Chain A
Amino acid sequence: MHISIALLLELGLILTALSALGALARRFALTPVPLYLLAGLALGEGGIAPVPAAGDFVEIGGAIGVVLLLLTLGLEFSVGELAASMRRHLPSAVVDLVLNATPGAVAGWLIGLNPVGILALAGATWVSSSGIVARLLDDLGRLGNRETPAVLSVLVLEDFAMAAYLPVLTVLAVGGAWWQAGVGMLIAVGAVVGAFAATQRWGSVIGRLLSHPEPEQLMLRVLGTTLVVAGLAELVGASAAVGAFLVGLTLTGQLAIRARAVLAPLRDLFAAAFFLAIGLGVEPGALPPVLPAALALAAVTAVTKLLTGAFAASRDGVARRGQLRAGAALIPRGEFSIVILGLAATTDPALSAVVTAYVFVLATTGPLIARLTGPPPTSPV
């Protein structure tokens, strides 16, 4: 086997640098996602330290990263949770979509993106980052708060809505017609319903097939199945990300908890590669011109998320202060906005720059705003 010294050195240095950045982010109780994007920016062409040899790994790793991000997201949720969220918070989800996708679409139109770019930017401003928000609620000790179920319900419904949105974007991004996008969406929605039925009826059979007492076996089985399903989903135009999400949904209970544990380190590695890959794809010179637009968009969509959260919390009978906390908790945008960008990046170079700058702003300031809206996290008494 030929060993590329340059690859080992570059990759090793990149991972070490990421670890330092991640530690820095944690130090300030921030998510590492924006720093990974910055690192990718610095490593790309025109950046301060180009990495030709590690580029291939980052590219391929990034594709697996999206699949793993969506798989672990699917593992988080169950059918019952979706049903309960739908019953209670469907109007909140509609408000969420209207208030937060509209500013993205309008901004996309104003800065002259093509229709696919406008659709992608609308998606990027619409979805909050489940990863950042869930972690934030835990860190701030707000899981017991009354407004928290409303926040989590909005996140669940957004994530499920992605199962319909991503296929449309995938098809349109590769130049498909609107009717093809519609077909892709129908396939994806049908597959979600099918996955639900499968979990209900054959959940235990699927569990037995994939489950194994040894972590290594479990990891290989779940990962292998997910990659196959993701590949097939991409083949029929329903987006690999949705396929991975479906596999995650189908696995429930104890199996899901164990799968999350064995996949977490892999997910962290490949997701880092994904964020790097996105950063690599952005030309640093393209950032300054779009910065004012990204900042304005961030300010507007921070306010619209605040309103969304307040509306959702008020449906649960939460008072003013709790409504404010709920709204602020939803402000961070992160990995999902980047996943959307990953699908549509090639269609419009300006899109990459805007979304990267936008996510960078809200992934860093969002958690800070959320922190300011409540008392400091209490240590146990």
Chain B
Amino acid sequence: MDVNEVLLPGVGLRYEFTSAEGRHLGIVARREGDFELVAYDRRDPDQSRLLFRLTAEEADMVAEILGAPRIAERFADLTKEVPGLSAGQIEVDPESRYAGRPLGETRARTRTGASIVAIVRGDDVIASPAPDEALHAGDVLVVIGTPGGIAGVDRIIHA
């Protein structure tokens, strides 16, 4: 999808794109952190109409709502493209011996070939976690690998 980025000197940036419906939409990102969402007029494509304004805080919230379910979906899309590859989610129980230990200590990748590509911790997602990232009880690990590899990681975490 093409997103056009235009500099607005003294104001901020403007992004514009055409939706699948054929609607021409734009987002004005002000330097102060506010956003304006606009739609372009069909008769005069240079003329914008304000849809709504968002404060920085509201924009964060909206981004989270729009972005969160898509993370798991995107992994699912990815695994569909490569035969034999699948994605799994593994929760770290409080009893797990890796709760409170760095991710690297599990040596999950070396032992199973599957990769832990993200840690979902409450509302946060830690994408591509580093080996020294500590695992907490309640974390959900997003794992990508062969079904056997994913099962292997599950055994390691729950051992």
Footprint of B on A, CB under 8 Å?
Answer: 76-77, 80-82, 84-85, 130, 134, 141-149, 152-153, 155-156, 257, 318-319, 321-322, 325, 374-375, 377-381
Contact = CB atoms under 8 A, between A and B. Distances in A.
B84 to A, nearest CB: 46
Q: Could you say which of B9, B10, B14 has the most chain A C-beta atoms within 10 Å of its C-beta?
A: B9
Interface string B1-41: 00000111111001000000000001010011000101010
B32 A147 contact: no
Contacts of A380: 50-53
Nearest to B52: A380
B30 to A, nearest CB: 8
Nearest 3 A/B pairs, CB to CB: A322-B46, A144-B48, A144-B38
A80 B48 CA distance: 26
Q: Could you say which of A81, A141, A146, A257 has the most chain B C-beta atoms within 10 Å of its C-beta?
A: A146
Q: Could you say which of A76, A82, A380 has the most chain B C-beta atoms within 10 Å of its C-beta?
A: A380
A85 to B, nearest CB: 6
B53 A319 contact: no
A142 B7 CA distance: 14
Contacts of A322: 44, 46-47
B13 to A, nearest CB: 10
In this complex, the interface size class of chain B, counting residues with CB under 8 Å from chain A, is 20 to 34
23 contacts: A77-B9, A80-B7, A84-B9, A141-B49, A143-B8, A144-B14, A145-B46, A145-B48, A148-B14, A152-B8, A152-B10, A152-B11, A319-B44, A319-B45, A321-B44, A321-B46, A321-B47, A325-B46, A374-B47, A378-B50, A380-B51, A381-B49, A381-B51
A149 B46 CA distance: 11
A257 to B, nearest CB: 6
A72 B5 CA distance: 26
A84 B51 CA distance: 28
A199 B6 CA distance: 23
A156 B31 contact: no
Contacts of B26: 144
A142 B38 CA distance: 10
B74 to A, nearest CB: 29
Given A257-B31, A319-B44, A321-B44, A144 B7 contact: no
A155 B10 contact: yes
Given A84-B9, A155-B10, A143 B28 contact: yes
A134 B31 CA distance: 14
A317 B14 CA distance: 16
Interface of B: 6-11, 14, 26, 28, 31-32, 36, 38, 40, 44-53
B39 to A, nearest CB: 9
Q: Could you say which of A80, A143, A319 has the most chain B C-beta atoms within 10 Å of its C-beta?
A: A143
A50 B11 CA distance: 41
Given A77-B10, A152-B10, A145 B52 contact: no
Contact of B9 (A152, A318, A374, A379): A152
Given A80-B7, A381-B51, 12 more contacts: A77-B9, A141-B50, A144-B36, A146-B46, A146-B48, A148-B8, A325-B46, A325-B47, A378-B49, A378-B50, A379-B50, A381-B49
A380 B38 CA distance: 9
Nearest to B30: A143
B28 A156 contact: no
Contacts of A153: 9
Nearest to B33: A257
B62 to A, nearest CB: 15
A155 B47 contact: no
Contacts of A377: 50
A149 B14 contact: yes
Contacts of A84: 7, 9
Nearest to A256: B31
Nearest to A130: B10
A358 B52 CA distance: 38
A156 B44 CA distance: 26
Nearest to B7: A84
Contacts of A141: 48-50
Nearest to B37: A144
B7 A149 contact: yes
Nearest to A145: B48
Q: Could you say which of A82, A153, A379 has the most chain B C-beta atoms within 10 Å of its C-beta?
A: A153
B9 A142 contact: no
A380 B50 CA distance: 6
Nearest to B47: A145
Contacts of A378: 49-50
A127 to B, nearest CB: 15
